[in-house]
A and B are shown apart, each in its own frame.
Chain A
């Protein structure tokens, strides 16, 4: 057992981080938010950036080399999506990633693919589609979609009412699944759509992990700089303990997300989702609290992390479904 990043994985992580820092740093993020406007109506995808991501192999990471991909696995995809989550990279990244190899141009970053996130669990509300107006290809049936005013200025959303049953089957392409078959061993393959939906869940959890890591860093940096009562607010225990718990939640989520990327086990993925959602949403909330009045402004970045975390937490299966499947697992006889 060696549950640590390999040198290659570290190099990949650094590479993606540097690429994104150069191409989608803080100024770019603020510019995108300014263009989107308070109501998000001006949100546009940067096609140039999308192509650069394609050229760098971001969408083709898991596509076999024979098909023009990078030929890596789910752990590497998770590391890349964690970095994307850290900088709040906008766009239907997961749908495009999963479409690489089946939708022409997706792997190269030439085609923007979105998907109907069609879970209808009886609670109403219908399915959501991110970035519908900007996408070239939609997986699933988005007819009759109506825009809603997205809470996250950088994630335009449409609502689709008419989807029935579980997610629209076959909505994702399945290169990841193929890849998983090649690698063998422990990879989840219930049905094609099911497995890819699982991978979508995991990549979303990876983005949440990146967001959680970043809000912890932001809170700590602010707590060191901001002075009140003649000393840094980070010297107050109430603030310290908020920050400590942010780190604890982030490190728990990291272990869960990375492990799920190795096993691709559906229950490991459910675990990763629950822990990463918790780390991202509560992390952004606590980060906001540490920033005081500044945290309540549009100008500070904190709110964008919180809003994106909310959007991601709504994707795919609900918390209730994950908790129920993890509960059901407890009744199974122990495997050794």
Chain B
């Protein structure tokens, strides 16, 4: 089987042609082209033409060649999440959005205020994911929020994934808006079900968002629809977890210019003597931090809390002034390349801060609770302590042979509230040196097992 995989990133459009026989994957050709922001299709067709010079589109149309492609161009997919209780439906809404490949731009709980709506109207997300209430549960807040949205000037796609008892009323109230109904992401209290909302986000991405960005030309020419890149990556992480022996638990990090993505696959059984609280964790999870990155977000990244920042400066041998200035310069001109030893250390310190903070936010906590019987640990979130493998992916981490995340994570034992952070303690670090993972994630749509094994086999240690 021959497969072409293309990923349209914010700066580069990358592509590869693969030949797959059983579990064997052969890389036939690769190409890269600057992403053509004005019309994403231009760069895409350049790359397609380079990796399959001879009648690629005809062969795709005739089914002789399979195509899978993804896009994170133009800032990716912006989702605002609206839930009822922050720790409950809002939390599941965030999970659904992030696993669908979106960047969370705003989050709201309980009742939308006038100010909340003004913020939404001012900076409309691509999609508002609107949830609240279990089936048969709360209707008061959901209906009040639907009324408030209906009365607002908010113009974006809206997905309703709340209490189904009032789905009809919500649909009637929002009849003037672009509304999609999805199954409740919390049908019963202890049974979150983010998958239908994730699927609805993907469908809306295809139907509505793809159009504005030139991707519709590709769909027309090839008959194939794109996925958001992180959506494909999450499924690829799941494919590795289930298809590659020894990789049942691992993390994958991607530090970009504007955002830092953390994916983890792990087993959620609790240690003895630990009581797990909060919503059940899915086996794979993605979180994305919009304030942590090496370029656009560099200035914000460099404003870490003092203890973290001091440790980073000491490790990188930089003064606070030099670092702050260099970070600001990166935010102002994202195209800057680190061309001296000092500038390279700035990037390393920024990457260290991104990795440390993004991983800490991604990971669960143990809180010691004193009971009459002695100490009991209460766990919230994911326990990654025994995860023994971490992958650095994305352009920067993949290439940096001399960046090691271990010392950056080693210091993160207790959080600001004194709870134990359940980060990996001893792990092997691997790099996706050729930045093949976004392409293999596309290949995995056609053959998950072969793509998962090929990706792991190509990692550098």
A and B together in one complex: no
Chain A contacts to B: CB under 8 angstroms: none
Chain B contacts to A: CB under 8 angstroms: none
